[in-house]
Amino acid sequence: MSIFIDNDTRLIVQGITGRDGSFHTRQMIEYGTQVVGGVTPGKGGQKFDEKVPIFNTVHDAVKETGANATVIYVPPMFAADAMMEAADAGIPFIVCITEGVPVLDMTKVYPFVKEKGARLLGPNCPGLISPGKSKVGIIPGRICTPGNIGLVSRSGTLTYEVVFQMTRAGMGQTTCVGIGGDPINGTNFIDCLAAFEADPDTESVVMIGEIGGTDEQDAARFVNEKMTKPVVGFIAGQTAPPGRRMGHAGAIISGSAGTAAEKMEAFEENGIGVAKRPIDVVQLLRNN
């Protein structure tokens, strides 16, 4: 099995005619994802690459295609409206790739999406992939292979690196999820860990964190208290200086709780094997 997406995922793409939306739509279709429609206001009635229907609104797209997921590639100024439009149209799973969405916008989006009963992944995330089934977002399909290891990460680039090392070592994945590194996002570590724990095909989990905030510490306690499956981890930013944002908007150390050392200590205290380098994740998995 997998979490969040599978062979039954029927995807629409908001911003399908833009540069990023069009490029990644072709990549998702090539991988085998069921892309059933796209949304670009003013271009309803047209077709993307002569086969994917384009609609003016998400509501129209859902009504005509029965879509149950959407991925958003729109500029930051339009991203909040896009996420709320998708939730209002009844889509249960929303993935927002857009980077640079204002935090103030997310303070409005997050409760709205929750109220509508939808799950949001992102913003500022690479999306997710269930190898051999479906890919939603920008994770390269060629580095993944089907298997029994789940992965959740705050870092897109490190997701690719660790998945590549796992695949090269013959360790396949059930689902690889990039939750994004913004201060407010829709799906966190614990959400993914709980889903992996409930997935009968996932036998172990890799968790990749980074400096800033306390999400990793909260997740470590969850692993200790609620999970029966082994979890290994890596923390990015081990040499980052305090007070400086490193890459993601949420990756800033403010006090000892946000440091890599504190997070690694929390992992170890709660039974999570900690890799010193991304490549070491493979050996930790072999030891479980």
Q: Which helix (H) or strand (E) holds 135?
A: strand 134-137
Q: Which helix (H) or strand (E) holds 28?
A: helix 19-31
Q: Which residues pair with 11 in a beta bridge?
A: 35, 69
Encoded tokens for 8: 């039954």
What is the mean pLDDT of the segment spanning 143-147?
98
In 3D, which of 40, 18, 22, 38 has the Cα closest to residue 30?
22
Identify whether the C-beta of residue 239 lies closer than 8 Å to the C-beta of residue 251.
no
pLDDT for the residue 251 = 47
CB atoms within 10 A of CB 44: 15
Strand-strand pairing, 134-137 and 127-130: antiparallel
Show Cβ contacts of residue 192 under 8 Å, excluding neighbours closer than 6 positions: 3, 150, 152, 177, 179
The per-residue pLDDT for range 179-188, each reduced to its tens digit, is 999 999 999 9
- In order of their start, the domains of the chain are 10-121 (3.40.50.720), 139-287 (3.40.50.261)
CA distance 208 to 228: 19
Given a cut of 70, is residue 282 above it in pLDDT?
yes
What is the mean pLDDT of the segment spanning 2-14?
98
* 24 counts as catalytic: no
Range of lowest pLDDT (17-26, 38-47, 243-252): 243-252
Please tell me which residue in 118, 248, 281, 282 is annotated as part of the active site.
248
pLDDT for the residue 108 = 98
Identify whether the C-beta of residue 91 lies closer than 8 Å to the C-beta of residue 58.
yes
Q: Which helix (H) or strand (E) holds 136?
A: strand 134-137
Given a cut of 70, is residue 271 above it in pLDDT?
yes
What is the mean pLDDT of the segment spanning 103-121?
98
CA distance 124 to 229: 28
Site of tokens 């799950």 = 119
pLDDT class of 1 with cuts at 50, 70, 90? confident
Three-state DSSP at 261 gives helix
The per-residue pLDDT for range 180-217, each reduced to its tens digit, is 999 999 999 999 999 999 999 999 999 999 988 899 99
Three-state DSSP at 188 gives coil
Range of lowest pLDDT (95-109, 133-147, 226-240, 274-288): 226-240
The per-residue pLDDT for range 238-260, each reduced to its tens digit, is 765 655 555 554 445 455 567 88
pLDDT for the residue 260 = 86
pLDDT for the residue 37 = 98
pLDDT class of 161 with cuts at 50, 70, 90? very high
The per-residue pLDDT for range 48-83, each reduced to its tens digit, is 999 999 999 999 999 999 999 999 999 999 999 999
